[in-house]
Amino acid sequence: MADSVKQTVQWFPGHMAKTRRLIKESLKQVDAVTMILDARIPESSKNPEIDSLTRDKPKIILFNKADLADSRATRQWIEYYEARGSAALEVDCRSGNGLNKFRPLVRDVLKDKIRQNEEKGMPGKALRIMVVGIPNTGKSSFINRMGAGSKAKVEDRAGVTKNNQWFVIGGGIEMLDTPGVLWPKFEDPEVGDKLAFTGGIKDQILDTETLAVRFLAVMRDNYPEKLAERYKITGFADKEPYEILEMIGRKRGMLISGGEIDTMRASVAVLDEYRGGKLGRITLEWVKNDI
Ligand SMILES: Nc1nc2c(ncn2[C@@H]2O[C@H](COP(=O)(O)OP(=O)(O)OP(=O)(O)O)[C@@H](O)[C@H]2O)c(=O)[nH]1
Ligand SMILES: [Mg+2]
């Protein structure tokens, strides 16, 4: 992970241990887990321990920010997770797109539990879901959207999880936000880059140009047509990414005194426009093997 990322995030072993413990304790109180991933980077936005931590619970994977991701890739990821026994949905928690499928999916995933509750004479017993995700994946947006603005704190629980906030979202479902703060796979430098590209980690001014250059290398190799379209540039297939950055700056008339290209301004523009979806729907991590 880049130094900037380390400085910004600062996950300490103590925090990690605390989050592990809080999640383990809270899992005893839930029927299923909803994991929120950023559809543009389904690998880098996933906590490396979450599968083993939540192994015993039914899983619903939400590919959030699907509005910014390549729909072909998102479909492949959904198939990938479904083939491995999880339910999966693509959603946009900013507009609410796709969220109408969430409650029916929960009831389907937990149909055995619902039947058991009925048999025990508790037909209306709430289904409890823990929402997990690393920072910035959209957990709060999801919970707020599901609650349609009427966030309701249900109760505090005794013991370790006394600070847990439960949210009633209707349809007999209650949700719990991630207890603690989940970390990404931060020992992998590529993960740091991708979180920075997508804005999951704030880049520091000094790193912006490096970041834009790395991003342009990925775009040149994977989405050249989108670069060509947005920046009206051609003939960059065999160019170094820094040269592409200069081409963009020149096209945009971003110059500093002496006619030199303002590559810093061009860097900020490229990254901002990617994060804002202006380069189109782009996924940076695809399913690797055929399933
Ligand atoms: N385009 C787009 N933006 C989204 C979507 N969901 C969330 N966002 C944006 O992503 C950013 C992070 O969303 P939050 O809901 O605060 O994420 P969080 O997981 O609660 O973040 P932390 O509380 O920091 O852990 C915000 O700027 C949201 O507006 C989505 O589906 N599409
Ligand atoms: Mg939040």
Does residue 155 register a pLDDT over 50?
no
| 200 pocket-lining for ligand 1 (C-beta < 6 Å) | no
pLDDT at residue 3, rounded to an integer: 47
Question: Is 181 inside a domain boundary?
Answer: no
Rounded to the nearest angstrom, the distance between the alpha carbon of 14 and the centre of ligand 1 is 26
Question: Is 283 inside a domain boundary?
Answer: no
Residue nearest to atom 13 of ligand 1 (CA): 138
Percent of the chain with pLDDT over 70: 88
> Of 176, 195, 230, which one is at a domain's C-terminal end?
176
Percent of the chain with pLDDT over 90: 77
| 67 pocket-lining for ligand 1 (C-beta < 6 Å) | yes
CATH number at residue 23: 3.40.50.300
| 136 pocket-lining for ligand 1 (C-beta < 6 Å) | yes
| 177 pocket-lining for ligand 1 (C-beta < 6 Å) | no
Does residue 65 register a pLDDT over 60?
yes
pLDDT at residue 7, rounded to an integer: 45
| 141 pocket-lining for ligand 1 (C-beta < 6 Å) | yes
Question: Is 141 inside a domain boundary?
Answer: yes
| 184 pocket-lining for ligand 1 (C-beta < 6 Å) | no
- Rounded average pLDDT over 9-30: 88
- Rounded average pLDDT over 36-63: 97
pLDDT at residue 162, rounded to an integer: 53
Gap between the Cα atoms of 191 and 194, Å rounded: 5
Task: Identify whether the C-beta of residue 19 lies closer than 8 Å to the C-beta of residue 182.
Answer: yes
- Is residue 171 located within the same domain as residue 225? no
Burial (Cβ within 10 Å: 0-12, 13-18, ≥19) of residue 100: exposed
| 198 pocket-lining for ligand 1 (C-beta < 6 Å) | no
For residue 64, the surrounding DSSP H or E stretch is strand 59-64
- Is residue 136 located within the same domain as residue 269? no
CATH number at residue 258: 1.10.1580.10
Rounded to the nearest angstrom, the distance between the alpha carbon of 65 and the centre of ligand 1 is 8
pLDDT at residue 201, rounded to an integer: 75
For residue 62, the surrounding DSSP H or E stretch is strand 59-64
Task: Identify whether the C-beta of residue 284 lies closer than 8 Å to the C-beta of residue 226.
Answer: no
For residue 211, what are the domain limits? 203-275
pLDDT at residue 183, rounded to an integer: 93
Question: Is 198 inside a domain boundary?
Answer: no
pLDDT at residue 160, rounded to an integer: 42
Higher-confidence position of 290 and 198: 198
Digit-coded pLDDT (tens) for 197-238: 998 776 665 589 999 999 999 999 999 999 999 999 999 999
Mean of pLDDT over the chain: 90
Residue nearest to atom 14 of ligand 1 (CA): 138
- Is residue 257 located within the same domain as residue 131? no
Does residue 72 register a pLDDT over 60?
yes
Question: Which of 93, 182, 202, 278 for a ligand 1 pocket mutation test, highest count of atoms within 8 Å of Cβ?
Answer: 93
Number of domains forming the structure of the chain: 2
Task: Identify whether the C-beta of residue 139 lies closer than 8 Å to the C-beta of residue 129.
Answer: no
pLDDT at residue 157, rounded to an integer: 44
Ligand 1 atom closest to Cα of residue 142: 15
Gap between the Cα atoms of 281 and 63, Å rounded: 14
Question: Is 190 inside a domain boundary?
Answer: no
Digit-coded pLDDT (tens) for 259-288: 899 999 999 999 999 999 999 999 999 999
Question: Is 183 inside a domain boundary?
Answer: no
- Is residue 39 located within the same domain as residue 100? yes
Does residue 161 register a pLDDT over 50?
no
